[in-house]
Amino acid sequence: MNKKNLFLICFSLFLSSKAYSQDMSDAVGDKNQSWYASASFATAIWSSDYWNERYYSADAVISHQNQKFKDFSNYALGIGYRSDRIQTEFVYEDFRKVRWTAGQTVDGSGRVFDNGELHVESKNIMAQVSYDFFNHKNNQVFGLIGVGFSEHHVDTAYLMISGVRVDYASPNTTKNTSYRLGIGNRFRLTKNTAIETKLNYSDYGKVFNLHTTTNKESYSIKMQAIEAGISLKYYF
């Protein structure tokens, strides 16, 4: 069983088990107004396989097989404010290095490559607003929306043919507007702490590489994912 499937199973079990927790009268949810800090982790359980080539030439990519993201996860820190059922939060998310991999690839000249990879270093700053639309004992079920700015830096892109590496990109940075829509469950641990499990759809925009020959932003992929996440919050 891979890590993503294990994380999703744990996520489901957590939501099920906490629905039967005992009530805590001094829980976080009883605080109508409070600042808080958060630490989070999220990983993609689905990600886009979209790619596009702007300029067709002899060395332009014509087709891929089995293109997909690997290591699509992030760690985040946030600061927010709770007012009754509404929480407003600013988060900084660091994806470190995300790998976009492809199997057999064909270019405009008909060359068939064995495989290839593109590496993206991504960061995202986002403002999020959540609303608690259902309460049950120590749990609040909430909806979430977010908008922000993402930055993607391609430092490596190459194709392999008969054991020979063909570099396809020069370093390039792309900036985008990012969006998020999600649902989750918040479980009150103590008066000052809570844990959240979330399922989000996030769109971090397109990533472009800089072609080594033309020096143009040519090949692109979309950073879109459904993410399972967990957050620990501390209310001041």
| CB-CB neighbours of 181 under 10 Å | 12
- What percent of the chain has a predicted confidence (pLDDT) above 90? 73
Domain, as residue range, for 125: 3-235
- pLDDT tens, residue by residue, 148-185: 999 999 988 999 999 999 998 888 999 999 999 999 99
Number of domains within the chain: 1
- pLDDT tens, residue by residue, 90-142: 999 999 999 999 999 999 999 999 999 999 999 999 999 999 999 988 899 99
pLDDT at 155: 87
Q: What is the 3-state secondary structure (H, E, C) of the chain?
A: CCHHHHHHHHHHHHHHHHCCCCCCCCCHHHCCEEEEEEEEEEEEEEECCCEEECCCCCCCEEEECCCEEECCEEEEEEEEEEECCEEEEEEEEEEEEEEEEECCEEECCCCEECEEEEEEEEEEEEEEEEEEEEEECCEEEEEEEEEEEEEEEEEEEEEEECCEEEECEECEEEEEEEEEEEEEEEEECCCCEEEEEEEEEEEEEEEEEEECCCCCEEEEEEEEEEEEEEEEEEEC
On the 0-12 / 13-18 / 19+ scale of CB atoms within 10 A, 13 is exposed
Which CATH number is 219's domain given? 2.40.160.20
Q: Is the pLDDT of residue 27 over 60?
A: no
For the chain, the distance separating the N- and C-terminal CA atoms, rounded to the nearest angstrom, is 39
Q: In terms of Cα–Cα distance, which of 124, 102, 138 is closest to 42?
A: 124
Can you give the pTM of this predicted structure?
A: 0.84
- Alpha-carbon distance of 60 to 48, in angstroms, equals 21
